[in-house]
Amino acid sequence: MEDFDTLEFICTVDSCRKVIPFSPLKIEKNPAIECPHCKKQYSFERKLVDQFKKFEKLIMAVRDAKEILGNTSVGINVDGNQIKIPYKLLLTRMNTLLTLDVGGNTITFKFRVEPLKAYSE
């Protein structure tokens, strides 16, 4: 798995609220990351780092299976009618989010569908 920033979250500092990109591989080596804007430090427990890695592997497996999933639909029943949504559409149009309670704050971590090799502001 490549070492690029595949996850991001919004800084919890009210005066900042900017995006903080990071990689599960990077925080495995050093479980502390810093907001590139306000310099607030965030640290993650080993268990959470492991969950991020599993989450990333799950998303990557789904992306790797897109050829198979291209012929698959998700059926949703609405008022007795079934609506079929092509899985391929779900992969390209919906954000994958992981919402966790971190230190009493609800933080949503977003998986970056097309991660950038380098983060730019």
Task: Write the burial class of residue 90 (CB in 10 Å: 0-12 exposed, 13-18 middle, 19+ buried).
Answer: middle
| Predicted local distance difference test score (pLDDT) of residue 113 | 57
pTM of the model: 0.66
Report the distance separating Cα 83 and Cα 77, nearest Å: 6
Reading the chain (121 residues) residue by residue, the pLDDT tens digits are 455 677 889 999 999 999 999 888 788 888 788 999 999 999 888 888 888 888 878 877 877 887 787 788 888 898 999 999 887 777 666 677 888 877 788 888 887 655 333 333 3
Give 75's Cβ-side CA count (13 Å radius). 5
- Hey, CA dihedral for 29, 118, 109, 107, is it positive or negative? positive
| Predicted local distance difference test score (pLDDT) of residue 1 | 46
Residue (of 103, 8, 105) closest to 52 by Cα position: 8
DSSP 9: E
DSSP 2: -
| Predicted local distance difference test score (pLDDT) of residue 3 | 54
Sheet architecture: strand order including 105-111: 19-22, 7-10, 105-111, 96-102
| Predicted local distance difference test score (pLDDT) of residue 116 | 34
